[in-house]
């Protein structure tokens, strides 16, 4: 297999061909004497355009991607990215608009942001949104900051935030950066929040609970209203991690469950491309109680005129250089307008159908720690395969041989050897079946020929990479 | 497999007494759970530690774990070798992989810790829970 | 539109396999009193031609294409080579997830590794990460990083740092017991070093300095770093205009410990402010406190070179409450655009690009300052932006320019009340001589009247 070299390894003097027009103003030679300039950029690549194009074309072909096949990563909602959204996000007047342009010059942009806010309010049952957070994790941080600001105004920010043991690691991290200490709430045998444990831990020192619904096991927190009651009764607020919104659209709304603040992931639920790790967007929706604290500026309208409101004295401030990831918001709005109310409901119904189909088809071969009904994702474990010395990592690496991307591994922490599986609604039955067949083949190989799993993958561009060496002796850049 | 003359904690640390000094490390079970160790965060010499207080952090490729001090005392030595070769913790956790040495404050704290056989029984119990 | 790929027959077979009569039964686990039981009140679905039509109309309400703009201030109008859009729109780059399964993500991981290397080369620093959200969050993360390194709680931030970046730093540090002290500027437009010295002490964690700064003036990073180090504080450089790295002395050559900023200039369109591209680089001794994702080189079991996300235990999904920062994502596709941009331009292209920026801006600066009634407000050397002051209110000047389809820059009074009648003018390589000359003519005309 031909290995793609690094661009620095094919670089050579005199090869770069990009030309600018000749300088059309008279050259001022004195600048070189007045301003400290660099000599050269040491070892900076010099390559031709054809080499750059081939380099990245070949590199791209070593990536698996949603455009290629099923990508059942739990908690990530790897759904198909509609191509019309890409074309819309490239409209000239969107991409060339400067963020400091006056509102009168940017009415189209402001209409996009306000319209997206209005539809998301309806979808989630919340009262107001901010689009500044550039990612889900940043949205979470903003959500916690809003809660803290509200508590501070009441006179006491309080000390703790309650987080279920099934939560994603960003949750405790966001709480910590806001100056809160974390207390873990246990999950019960159904995999949902243990209300007794919650009651015991909820007091006047707790500012909020951070919940995910459906939770990271794919289970709907059916006692969420009761949980919210417990928290509200002691003056706390309820934050929801909205990463799993794909199961709920048109079915039920966080705002109707006692949630005070929620972040959404536009790059998950609302189909904007993941890009190999961004850019995404993590807008935060709030109930009226938290609206005064939202990041500034806010986009508002009076009839058909849109304007920017910077007069928000209680705002937590700014979290982004400008308006957030605007082009990502454009794509999300295009998606919602393309689907309409029935379309969004169909998305959630089909996401849940597809996931339950996989669950039913594999529940004999793979252990499910919790027997509770699940919605859009479910968490298998490697328990049955462990007896043959096969772990979830081996299963994942063998799936690569069979042409499928593995599910999310080793998360949530409450399931040992987890394989969190979320197909999303855009998979065909044939693609679902190919995943199911691959998993069944692996279960059989675990019994008959576990060696082939432990040495997988065999056919990929690179095989198992030494992550230990990478962490012990970090090589983080090319050197000549 | 677990040295008789050590004492053990529920968080999988061991402590070995030599007169007024104690050596502290993590057990073989702990290192096998962590996987390949890539980094160890050590305390400062002279730091006063209370029993159960975090003395440092062990990082493997995929996980991070606090190390708790089994007893109270003042840190007199830290195993600098772990900075260059963190894998000693995996290879020889009970001997060359010692982490810190402490001047013991209160010998009676040792009574709260487990003996080797008690620790081994404790590990059996954990396995059943899985 | 629908992107569901199941036929009626498929659905029937799947429901049969699951053992339920209809998809709605799968939601029985949701209590009835929570269920919505009505349609969402959002616009009815649009077909592809309709949704395209809606957005075309919407975009027409923006007026930017009718004007020639001289706006900068953290968002820069530059040329983007065709290959950047072409390559970054490939589905293999746009549609995968974060490269956690390294064996099937080498394209993404190797591109990130190249990006990291390019940032190191440009900034002259040892290590760089896979990118951050934007320049403002980069500045905030750099401050938090300095705190983690030396455990001190005071940071000095100049008024010449972009006002939005300062606001973001305040938002991030407010709940962490960190004191942020703002330092003023002098008549050159640079940090007032006397005020800086007065405020530097052993409690100072870091000194932050933007260069070229918000006024377009080039700061003396050597001097600032020296002051910082004398007091055992870290020197943090923030760059909002990354193209300046093509020509100006690199932060790494001037004693800087952490270099961060905005790389939007590297092939990312203005996009009404986002998505943009934060970058960060630092000295290798700080690697354990470094936020963000990092791609590292390693080998596979056959001895072939490959790349993996590494040092992951700094990150919050593993460290949880002990995390070095909150960053879970980078801006991978934007970083890819920047990587392609930099490799297409190459060393020669990059130098020529920066040269044209500094030359055209200085041409404009010299031309405008000689106009009666115009003052080039700061005396410091500039890169591609500068401040002018006239006898008239900037809003008035701006209205006159707008009538001639030019946006002359950005009013500074809203950020600096003391800078009445001042505007920040940005000139890049896409500004033509005739546009600059026309600007001067119009300005002359406005002030003569």
Tell me if A320 and C136 make a contact (CB, 8 A cut-off).
yes
User: What residues of chain B lie within 8 A of the CB of C312, using their CB?
Assistant: 61-62
Closest residue on chain A to C245 (Cα): A38
Read off φ and ψ for residue C116, nearest 5 degrees: -60, -45
Which two three-digit tokens encode residue A10? 């094919």
pLDDT digits (tens, 9 = 90+) for C200-249: 999 999 999 999 999 999 999 999 999 999 999 999 999 999 999 999 99
Q: Range of A99's domain? A: 84-339
More confident call, A166 vs C272 = C272
- Rounded-to-integer distance, Cα A46 and Cα A12, Å: 6
Given CB atoms, is A471 within the 8 Å cutoff of chain B?
Answer: yes
Tell me if A471 and B130 make a contact (CB, 8 A cut-off).
no
Residue C448 contacts residue C440 (beta carbons within 8 Å): no
List chain A pLDDT tens, one digit each, 480 residues.
688 999 999 999 989 889 999 999 999 999 999 999 998 899 999 999 999 999 999 999 999 999 999 999 999 999 999 999 999 999 999 999 999 999 999 999 999 999 999 999 999 999 999 999 999 999 999 999 999 999 999 999 999 999 999 888 788 888 888 889 999 999 999 999 999 999 999 999 999 999 999 999 999 999 999 999 999 999 999 999 999 999 999 999 999 999 999 999 999 999 999 999 999 999 999 999 999 999 999 999 998 899 999 999 999 999 999 999 999 999 999 999 999 999 999 999 999 999 999 999 999 999 999 999 999 999 999 999 999 999 999 999 999 999 999 999 878 878 889 999 999 999 999 999 999 999 999 999 999 999 999 999 999 999 999 999 999 999 999 999
Is A241 in the same domain as A297?
yes
Is A210 in the same domain as A275?
yes
- In angstroms and rounded to an integer, the radius of gyration of the C-alpha atoms of chain C is 25
Is A391 in the same domain as A434?
yes
Per-residue pLDDT band for B12 (boundaries 50, 70, 90) equals: very high
Is A461 in the same domain as A377?
yes
Domain count, chain A: 3
Is A175 in the same domain as A324?
yes
Query: CA A92, A133, A376, A215: dihedral to nearest 10 degrees?
Result: 180
Handedness of CA A102, A107, A109, A112 (dihedral sign): positive
Inter-chain Cβ pairs, chain A and chain B, closer than 8 A: 17
User: What residues of chain B lie within 8 A of the CB of A416, using their CB?
Assistant: 130
Contacts of C55 (CB under 8 A, 6+ apart): A88, A91, A330, A334
C288 CB burial (10 A radius; 0-12, 13-18, 19+): middle
C68-79+347-448 is classed in which CATH architecture?
A: Alpha-Beta Complex (3.90)
Closest residue on chain B to C310 (Cα): B61
End-to-end, the C-alpha distance of chain B in Å comes to 22
* Count of CB atoms situated within 10 Å of the CB of C303: 8
Is A309 in the same domain as A452?
no
Q: Which of A66, A71, A169 sits opposite C318 (nearest CB)?
A: A169
Domain boundary among A339, A360, A387: A339
Domain boundary among A339, A365, A387: A339
pLDDT digits (tens, 9 = 90+) for C148-174: 899 899 999 999 999 999 999 999 998
Residue A380 lies in a domain: yes
Is A165 in the same domain as A279?
yes
Is A54 in the same domain as A94?
no
Tell me if A31 and C358 make a contact (CB, 8 A cut-off).
yes
Residue A200 lies in a domain: yes
pLDDT digits (tens, 9 = 90+) for B89-119: 999 999 999 999 999 988 888 888 999 999 9
pLDDT digits (tens, 9 = 90+) for C202-212: 999 999 999 99
C167-170 CB contacts, 8 Å cutoff, 24+ apart: C167/A317, C167/A318, C167/C136, C168/A317, C168/A318, C168/A319, C168/A320, C168/A321, C168/C136, C168/C137, C168/C139, C168/C140, C169/C136, C169/C139, C169/C140, C169/C143, C169/C208, C170/A317
Full set of structural domains in chain B with CATH: 6-129 (2.40.50.100)
Enumerate the H helices of A325-371 as residue ranges.
Answer: 326-362
Q: Strands, DSSP E only, in C201-315?
A: 204-210, 234-239, 258-262, 278-282, 295-299, 305-309
Per-residue pLDDT band for C318 (boundaries 50, 70, 90) equals: low
Degrees, nearest 5: CA angle A205-A209-A212? 170
- Rounded-to-integer distance, Cα C245 and Cα C212, Å: 10
Residue A1 lies in a domain: no
Is A306 in the same domain as A452?
no
Return the axis-axis angle of helices C48-60 and A107-124, rounded to nearest 10°. 130
User: What residues of chain A lie within 8 A of the CB of C131, using their CB?
Assistant: 278
Tell me if B64 and C288 make a contact (CB, 8 A cut-off).
no
Per-residue pLDDT band for B129 (boundaries 50, 70, 90) equals: low
- Rounded-to-integer distance, Cα C334 and Cα C269, Å: 10
The confidence score (pLDDT) of residue C326 equals 66
Is A114 in the same domain as A18?
no
Residue A473 lies in a domain: no
B37 CB burial (10 A radius; 0-12, 13-18, 19+): buried
Pairing of the two strands B100-104 and B54-60: unpaired
Tell me if A343 and C45 make a contact (CB, 8 A cut-off).
yes
Residue A275 lies in a domain: yes
| Residue C286: DSSP 8-state | G
Domain boundary among A44, A60, A76: A60
Sorted by where each begins, the domain ranges of chain C are: 68-79+347-448, 82-341
Give how far C313 is from chain B: nearest CA, Å. Answer: 6
> Mutating which of A173, A464, A469, A471 best tests the B interface, going by the most B Cβ atoms within 10 A?
A471
Handedness of CA B72, B73, B74, B79 (dihedral sign): negative
Residue A476 lies in a domain: no
Closest residue on chain A to C358 (Cα): A31
Tell me if A472 and B86 make a contact (CB, 8 A cut-off).
yes
Tell me if A472 and B130 make a contact (CB, 8 A cut-off).
no
Give how far B60 is from chain C: nearest CA, Å. Answer: 8
Q: Mean pLDDT over all residues of chain C?
A: 95
The confidence score (pLDDT) of residue C325 equals 65
Fold of C82-341: 3.40.640
Interface chains of chain A (3 or more CB pairs under 8 Å): B, C
The number of residues in chain C equals 449
pTM: 0.95
- Rounded-to-integer distance, Cα A263 and Cα A138, Å: 9
Residue A320 contacts residue C134 (beta carbons within 8 Å): yes
Q: Is it true that C68-79+347-448 and C82-341 share their CATH fold?
A: no
Query: CA A194, A196, A199, A202: dihedral to nearest 10 degrees?
Result: -50
Give how far B17 is from chain A: nearest CA, Å. Answer: 31
């Amino acid at each position: 297999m031909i290995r793609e070299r690094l661009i620095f390894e094919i670089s050579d003097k005199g090869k770069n061909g990009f030309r600018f027009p000749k300088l059309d103003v008279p050259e001022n030679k004195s600048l070189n004497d007045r301003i400290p300039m660099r000599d050269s950029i040491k070892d900076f690549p010099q390559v031709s355009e054809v080499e750059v194009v081939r380099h990245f074309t070949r590199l791209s072909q070593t990536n698996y991607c949603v455009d290629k096949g099923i990508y059942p990563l739990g908690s990530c909602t790897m759904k198909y990215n509609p191509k019309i959204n890409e074309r819309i996000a490239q409209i000239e007047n969107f991409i060339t608009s400067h963020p400091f342009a006056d509102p009168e010059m940017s009415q189209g942009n402001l209409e996009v942001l306000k319209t997206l806010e209005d539809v998301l309010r309806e979808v989630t049952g919340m009262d107001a949104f901010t689009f500044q957070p550039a990612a889900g994790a940043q949205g979470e941080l903003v959500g916690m900051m809003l809660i803290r600001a509200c508590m501070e105004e009441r006179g006491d920010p309080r000390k703790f935030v309650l987080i279920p043991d099934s939560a994603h690691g960003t949750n405790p991290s966001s709480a910590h950066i806001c100056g809160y200490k974390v207390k873990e709430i246990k999950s019960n045998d159904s995999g949902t929040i243990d209300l007794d444990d919650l009651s015991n831990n909820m007091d006047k020192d707790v500012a909020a609970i951070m919940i995910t619904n459906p939770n990271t096991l794919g289970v709907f927190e059916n006692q969420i209203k009761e949980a919210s009651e417990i928290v509200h009764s002691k003056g706390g607020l309820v934050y929801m991690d909205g990463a799993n919104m794909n199961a709920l659209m048109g079915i039920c709304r966080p705002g109707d469950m006692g949630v005070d603040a929620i972040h959404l992931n536009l790059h998950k639920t609302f189909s904007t491309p993941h890009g190999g790790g961004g850019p995404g967007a993590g807008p935060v929706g709030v109930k009226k109680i938290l609206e005064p604290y939202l990041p500034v500026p806010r986009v508002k309208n009076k009839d058909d005129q849109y304007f920017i409101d910077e007069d928000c004295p209680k705002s937590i401030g700014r979290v982004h250089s400008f308006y957030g990831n605007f082009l990502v918001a454009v794509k999300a709005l295009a998606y919602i307008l393309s689907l309409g109310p029935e379309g969004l409901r169909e998305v959630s119904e089909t996401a849940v159908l597809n996931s339950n189909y996989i669950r039913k088809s594999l529940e004999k071969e793979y252990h499910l720690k919790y027997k509770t009904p699940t919605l859009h994702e479910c968490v298998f474990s490697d328990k049955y395969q462990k007896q043959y010395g096969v772990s979830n990592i081996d299963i994942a690496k063998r799936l690569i041989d069979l042409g499928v991307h593995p599910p999310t591994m080793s998360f949530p922490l409450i399931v040992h050897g987890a394989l969190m599986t979320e197909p999303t609604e855009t998979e065909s039955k044939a693609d679902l079946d190919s995943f199911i067949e691959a998993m069944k083949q692996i279960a059989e190989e675990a019994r008959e020929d576990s060696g082939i799993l432990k040495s997988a993958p065999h056919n990929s561009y690179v095989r198992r990479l030494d992550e230990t060496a990478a962490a012990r002796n970090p090589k983080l850049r090319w050197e000549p | 497999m677990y040295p008789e003359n050590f004492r053990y904690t529920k968080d999988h640390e061991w402590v070995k007494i030599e007169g007024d000094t104690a050596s502290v490390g993590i057990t073989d079970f702990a290192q096998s759970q962590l996987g390949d160790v890539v980094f160890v965060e050590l305390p400062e010499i002279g730091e006063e530690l209370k029993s159960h207080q975090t003395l440092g952090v062990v990082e493997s490729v995929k996980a991070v774990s606090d190390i708790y001090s089994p007893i109270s005392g003042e840190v007199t030595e830290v195993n600098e070798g772990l900075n260059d070769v963190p894998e000693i913790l995996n290879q020889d956790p009970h001997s060359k992989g010692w982490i810190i040495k402490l001047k013991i404050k209160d010998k009676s704290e040792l009574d709260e810790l487990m003996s080797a056989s008690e620790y081994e029984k404790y590990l059996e119990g954990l396995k059943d829970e899985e | 539109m629908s992107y569901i790929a199941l036929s009626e027959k498929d659905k029937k077979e799947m429901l049969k396999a699951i053992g339920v009569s209809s998809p709605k039964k799968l939601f029985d686990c949701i209590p009835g009193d929570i269920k919505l039981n009505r349609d969402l009140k959002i616009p009815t679905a649009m077909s592809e031609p309709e949704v395209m039509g809606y957005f075309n109309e919407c975009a027409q309400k923006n007026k930017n294409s009718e004007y020639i703009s001289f706006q900068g201030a953290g968002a820069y109008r530059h040329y983007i080579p065709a290959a950047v859009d072409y390559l970054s729109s490939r589905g293999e780059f746009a549609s995968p997830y974060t490269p956690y399964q390294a064996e099937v993500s080498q394209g993404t991981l190797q591109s990130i590794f190249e990006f990291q290397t390019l940032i190191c080369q440009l900034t002259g620093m040892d290590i760089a990460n896979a990118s951050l959200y934007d320049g403002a969050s980069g500045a905030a993360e750099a401050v938090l990083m300095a705190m983690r390194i030396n455990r001190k709680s005071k940071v000095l931030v100049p008024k010449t740092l972009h006002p939005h970046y300062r606001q973001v730093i305040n938002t991030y540090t407010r709940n962490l017991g960190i004191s942020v002290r703002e330092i003023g500027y002098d008549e050159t437009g640079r940090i007032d070093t006397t005020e800086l010295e007065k405020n530097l002490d052993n409690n100072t964690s870091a000194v932050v300095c933007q260069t070229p700064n918000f006024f377009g003036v080039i700061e003396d990073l050597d001097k600032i770093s020296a002051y910082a180090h004398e007091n055992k504080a870290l020197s943090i450089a923030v760059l909002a205009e990354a193209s300046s790295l093509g020509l100006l002395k690199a932060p790494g050559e001037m004693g800087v410990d952490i270099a961060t900023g905005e790389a939007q200039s590297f092939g990312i369109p203005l996009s009404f402010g986002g998505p943009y591209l934060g970058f960060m680089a630092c000295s290798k001794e700080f690697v354990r406190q470094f936020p963000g994702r990092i791609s590292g080189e390693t080998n596979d079991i056959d001895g072939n070179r490959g790349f993996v996300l590494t040092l992951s235990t700094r990150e919050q999904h593993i460290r949880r409450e002990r995390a070095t920062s909150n960053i879970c994502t980078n801006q991978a596709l934007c970083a890819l655009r920047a990587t392609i941009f930099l490799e297409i331009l190459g060393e020669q292209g990059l130098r020529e690009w920066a040269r044209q920026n500094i030359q055209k801006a200085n041409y404009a600066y010299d031309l405008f300052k000689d106009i009666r009634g115009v003052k080039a407000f700061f005396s410091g050397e500039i890169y591609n932006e500068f401040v002018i002051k006239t006898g008239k209110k900037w809003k008035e000047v701006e209205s006159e320019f707008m009538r001639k389809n030019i946006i002359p820059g950005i009013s500074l009074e809203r950020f600096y009340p003391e800078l009445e009648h001042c505007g920040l003018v940005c000139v890049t390589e896409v500004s033509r001589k005739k546009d600059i000359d026309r600007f001067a003519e119009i300005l002359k005309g406005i002030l003569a009247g």
